Structure 1
Amino acid sequence: MSLAALQVCLDREHARAAAAFRLDDELGTHHGIAWLDFVLLDALQSADAAMPDTELAARLGLLRSHLLMRVRPLQKLGLVTCRSDGEHSRSIALSVAGRRLANEARDTAAHVCEQV
């Protein structure tokens, strides 16, 4: 067992957590969203079309149920739209407001990432 390898993983996780904390704080203060919300909005924006929830969940490394828990508040805020594609599938897309917010939040996120 390599304790050095474990320490590398722990150091990376601590750095990721510190960056996520700063991003949450700045994005929340200026745009009312969390870092993971921005990551979700960015994935939808880069797709440039509605995405099946299973594809979006895989892209974000989330279980489908966890993705849907993240999507619901964004849907209530009018940032994303959901359309049922059948009994067990749905497509998720950015709304006009979601696209605008993602663009505005991108500058804030980029600024924080330059600092960390």
Structure 2
Amino acid sequence: MSEQHLPLPDSGAALALALSLARAQATMVRRLDQVLGSYHGISFGDFMLLNSLARAPGGRMRRVDLAERQGLTASGVTRTLLPLEKIGLIERQQDPRDARVAYAAITESGRELLHNATPAAEQCSKDLLRNCPAEQYPALTDALTIISGLPGVA
């Protein structure tokens, strides 16, 4: 008996966009991981966490808010923060008014590493986007912000 293969349905525009975004995201993360890991010893995910903390008021965020901003679960952000805490790039802070609330705060060493790593991340990003006209960046950023569901996330 021969094996029958059903024809694949045509992809709709939304699915085609989602697949393209996933491929682009995987490519960008892989390249940024390579560059940041080679020169600064951190992953792109680490860079994103440090960047979010550096931009937060007082250089700190509640862990649950950081998890949401990064698209991680609470346990996922904890697993990601532990190595950064061990090497002194972030520190854990308790809320003096509510012991149940924990903050992640960027340290001075974390700020320094972020400052040093940002030009490499910027250059890698420019290289990855070299075929995309710079005047389209704002519109693409707006569209991706809408997709993420988090306004003003950078």
What does residue 42 of structure 1 align with? 51
How far the C-alpha of 1:48 sits from its partner, in A, is 4.1
The reply to whether residue 111 of structure 1 matches residue 119 of structure 2 is no
What does residue 96 of structure 1 align with? 108
Looking at structure 2, the residues matched to 62 and 88 of structure 1 have their Cα atoms a distance apart, in angstroms, of 20
Unaligned runs of 5+ in 2: 1-8, 129-154
Looking at structure 2, the residues matched to 51 and 8 of structure 1 have their Cα atoms a distance apart, in angstroms, of 32
Residue 14 (structure 1) aligned to one of 16, 19, 23: 23
AA paired with 2:19?
A: L
AA paired with 2:86?
A: K
Alignment TM-score, normalising by the size of structure 1: 0.92
Alignment TM-score, normalising by the size of structure 2: 0.71
Quote the RMSD (CA, aligned, Å): 1.5
* SS of residue in 2 equivalent to 1:30: helix
AA paired with 2:120?
A: T
Looking at structure 2, the residues matched to 79 and 38 of structure 1 have their Cα atoms a distance apart, in angstroms, of 11
Bigger Rg, structure 1 or 2: 2
Unaligned runs of 5+ in 1: none
In the TM superposition, 1:70-89 aligns within 5 A as 70-85=80-95, 86-89=98-101
Structure 1 segments of 4+ aligned residues over 2 angstroms from their partners: 84-89
Higher relative contact order (CA 8 A, sep 6+): 1
The reply to whether residue 3 of structure 1 matches residue 11 of structure 2 is yes
How far the C-alpha of 1:7 sits from its partner, in A, is 2.0
Identity %: 33
Q: How many residues align?
A: 116
* SS of residue in 2 equivalent to 1:89: strand
Hey, which of these two has a bigger chunk of helix by percent? 1
